A and B are shown apart, each in its own frame.
Chain A
Amino acid sequence: MDKKLLQLFHSIEAKGFTPAQEHKFKAELEADGSHDLVHPPEDTSDNTGYHRRGLLASAHRNLYEYSDLIMLQDLRSPLVSYETCLRSIDELLERDRQREQDGFPRKIRVGKLIKPGRRGQGKVVVVPTTVEEKFIHDANFKESLEEGITGGSGDGEEGEVIGEQPVRPGGGEGTGAGEGQSGPHELESSAYDLGKILTEQFQLPNLKNKGKKRSLTRYTYDLTDKHRGFGQLLDKKATLRRILETNLTLGRITDVTDIDPTKFLIAPHDMVYRILSREKDFESQAMVFFLRDYSASMAGKPTELVVAQHVLIYSWLLYQYAGQVESRFVLHDTEATEVEDFYTYYNSRVAGGTKVASAFRFVNETVDKENLVQDYNIYVFHGTDGDDWDTEGEETLPEIEKMLTYVNRIGITIAQHSSDTSGSEVEKYIKKSGLLEKRADLLRMDIMKEDADETRLIEGIKRLISEQPVAAS
């Protein structure tokens, strides 16, 4: 067991806490583990899946899943690339909006989100899906229980085990978030497109620019400069004006009401041209800090939820800021550490105790050190299960208050354990502090249950980023 962690535990213990808290924290303390990466299996979307080897390969294949083209000729529909489908996503969303106006419920859902891999950063996979509802029998209504599921052949006595399969594939205990399993027909879409979809489809609020326009080191080139004598495009109006001036000074125009342009003298330097020039681009840019609690208590569902929501937020901001988003990823247990990419952020194993303050402190220090306030709109999103060894928020609250002086938004997501009914520490002390009401424009909190689905996640994002506070449901 980590000595430092133990020390910390004892120092907190001295302050005293409730039995429930003690139990929780001890569990974290005792959970062995390190924050190594969980490697999702290399691309398992096997195109020739029907000829997969392995004992259980066909265990869950329905008898109607066998078909001639695949069995006899190994022919199947190729995957569709997202470029060819983007137009149709737009069309689909348009169609869906129209549905709503016509008085029918929406039908398109942004389906699975496949999490980004190490290569091709910022890539997520969006699957616009729909379902055709019919009256059908629910075959799975008693599935959780032991059932005769399929047929088999070969030797073996009744009752003999012939194969096994881990309940949680690819993980076991202490996973990062689970990896999406990709089937055929998924469209790959960039995070930017996802942001666009989120904004349009789910009416996530558009971001208001808060006047924090700063010049970037980015330039655009435009025909904005004028130049006399030569250039790329003749500015006819300006040229005519100059010619007129010259001729007036030369005294060639006696009567201004009767000008004969054919008598003009035209000097070469009277020709005014537009010329291509470098312009500084004035666009807002944003720095987003994603903070994730990766303490031991976050195992399983809470991590998945938090990370999934962070993917969505990231995409949304990317769209809002037209790609001008820089993101920083910070993981914390009792100490915070910054990781370089989303992949690591996403896939690090959970372990250790929890001190939320560490993450906020880390961000404050970073912002200070790098003087980020001057150049960026700063967003901080924090995901946790709400457990905190700092039970009263004595350390966390001052850090948050400090942060509130410069950020555009702090969004705290609490993925509550289903066993947690009374509310978690973080939830309690933040509510108690009254900051949520006082600084409603800057600080938001979203509390969801462990079993929240994607719709709920998006609902949560609205709550975190909208201009006006949304009433909690």
Chain B
Amino acid sequence: MELIDQHTKKIMEGCKLRARDAGLKFEDETLEYIVTNRDLLELTPKIMIPTLYDYWVHDVEVLREKGKYELYPHNPYETVINTRPAISFYNDNNPDWLNVMIFYHVLAHIDFFQNNLYYRHTWDYDFTGHALSDKRVIARLRAEYGRWVDYIIEFARGIDNLVGYHSELSSYNRPKTDSTSSLVDYYFDVFLQSEKHVKINVYVNEIERYNKSLTKFGSQGEKNFFSEVEKKYPEFKILFEKHLSEKNVPIRDLLQFLMENSPVLNKSENKWMKTVLQVVRKTSLFFQPQIRSKIMNEGWASYWHEALFLQDDRIKGHEVEFARVNAMVTAMPRVGMNPYAMGMRLFTYIEELSDKGKYSYEYQRIFDAYKRQQFDQQAGSGREFIFSLRENLDDFLFINTFLDQAFMNKYKLFVVGRRLNQDRMVWEYYVKSRKVKDYRKMILDALYHPPHIEIDPDKSEENGALYLNHRFEEKPLVSDYIANTMLGIEYLWGHPVKLETSEVESIEPKQGENGDVTDELDIKWRRVLFTMKDKSLSKENL
């Protein structure tokens, strides 16, 4: 890997000035490297993070037929990575005009990384730096513990898609809640409601008594109030303390739970394993936002590379070549889903609507198609609006909120279906639906969504077994993978592990009212419990 030459760097700096003028916000420093085939060979297994820890699976072709992106929710061919400074990679024979286009694309990505709130947890540190120290730690551990380090990495990676990404995020930007003391919060929010289940009039009376006590005794009011409470409920103080101790460590995911509570990992000779788990968890958390903002991120970058390239005065005369490459990147395929094309069009569409003030109550109230079309408040707020979207949304919200029937009609979008023609033994691809409801569902179904698996402390008690509960979302788990994943968890936990999940009992085409077979499926589910004990898996129906 080599840095780009001074000439090209100068072009990049020019791009930064123009991008900033247009409103993009990003840190000053960036690093651009030329990559050769050889570099790519090493970089792609490490998801373009040059300093990622070594792991043997990186060197093997991995079977990915089942749930490729569920297993590897990150992009091996990223051009720019979300580090401080941001690092981007280039072919060494790109012509200048192409580099200008790519630079704008990259700058828009960096802007997205550094402003979208789903990346909030990656803002305060440089991932490559952390990764490098983690890589060294793992290398050192490997020197000491040999292949066992790789087993621990393997087992930890087996559950790294269950990291509590959203709960991690939710710890940022919380409103400060120091207006009332935690004692008061507990008394009114938890104790009275969940412990005592008091009637509403009792509750209101208590609030009134509290307020009176405050006005009467001022700063001593609260103390006075609770001395009364303790007389009435002698157990209150103990329950409160218990509540505090429980709340101290918010457990966000399975990896963290194991680190805190596993009897095996907390043995003094096994403490090093927790370091490995920590590394795997951190790495996984880092990559979570990328896959959840693919359409937005690529759409945003495509929107800007086009807008900024066409305004750039330095590369006049390359419009035709640009148009060709740009079309290859951002054309809507006849069949298929291109996130660049989709995201870019959606941003453009939203900007246009917002410019005309169509995201407003007045507009929503108009039912006349002609009037709707002609509606224009000259609001001119489009840019501002899409900037706020790039800050606040992820793919799910973006698609779910803004993809509408008018957009579908404008770009002639449809859902493609596939069916078997048995006479001719061909798969037919056909226009299945032009309804926004179906199209939206099709996209949302394709979005990355790991299973939601919780630890059930109530059922975990018996003989140290860990009880995991997979929340039912009308999707079964890939059954081939259950055994080895649970084997890993059992090793890390040191006791049997149970997993409650759902299986398909039968699938049949749903019968229509008059006995016709319809498109819809009638799926019967059953709840099952897997138990991994002493490395062998058993299953029972619940």
A→B interface (CB under 8 Å): 51, 55-59, 61-64, 66-78, 80, 88, 92, 95, 98, 102-105, 108-109, 111, 127-142, 145-168, 172, 185-187
Contacts and interface: CB of A to CB of B under 8 A. Distances in A.
Minimum-distance CB pairs A-B, first 8: A58-B336, A68-B79, A133-B481, A67-B77, A136-B70, A69-B77, A133-B484, A153-B332
B340 A71 contact: yes
Contacts of A159: 430-432
B233 to A, nearest CB: 43
Interface of B: 35, 37, 40-41, 44, 56-57, 59-64, 66-71, 75-80, 89-91, 94, 98, 101-102, 105-106, 109, 147, 151, 154, 157-162, 291, 294-295, 298, 301, 325, 328-329, 332-340, 342, 411-421, 424-434, 438-439, 441-443, 445-446, 448-451, 453, 470, 473, 475-485, 487, 499, 504, 507, 509, 519, 521, 523, 535
A59 B78 contact: no
A78 B71 contact: no
Nearest to A70: B77
Contacts of B301: 68
A137 B67 contact: yes
B61 A167 contact: no
A92 B485 CA distance: 21
Contacts of B470: 135
Contact of B60 (A68, A130, A141): A130
Question: Which one of B35, B61, B63, B295 has the highest number of Cβ atoms from chain A below 10 Å of its Cβ?
Answer: B61
A58 B433 contact: no
Contact of B147 (A63, A98, A109): A98
A63 B337 contact: yes
Contacts, number: 304
A137 B449 contact: yes
Given A145-B509, A157-B431, A75 B77 contact: yes
Given A134-B71, A149-B418, A167 B426 contact: yes
A151 B443 contact: yes
Contact of A151 (B62, B79, B413, B487): B413
A141 B66 CA distance: 11
Contacts of A157: 431
Query: Which DSSP category, helix, strand, loop or mixed, fits chain A's interface?
Result: loop
A200 to B, nearest CB: 17
A132 B339 CA distance: 27
A73 B90 contact: yes
Contacts of A132: 57, 62, 71, 154, 157-158
A158 B433 contact: yes
Contacts of A165: 426-427, 429
A148 B427 contact: no
A146 B421 CA distance: 11
A70 B412 CA distance: 27
Given A136-B478, A145-B509, A152 B335 contact: yes
A148 B429 CA distance: 10
Nearest to B442: A148
Contacts of B445: 139
Contacts of B523: 142
11 contacts: A59-B429, A69-B77, A108-B60, A131-B481, A134-B485, A135-B161, A135-B470, A150-B416, A154-B412, A158-B432, A168-B425
B281 to A, nearest CB: 14
A145 B507 CA distance: 10
A148 B417 contact: yes
Given A137-B475, A152-B415, A167-B426, A69 B89 contact: yes
Question: Which one of B80, B417, B434, B473 has the highest number of Cβ atoms from chain A below 10 Å of its Cβ?
Answer: B417
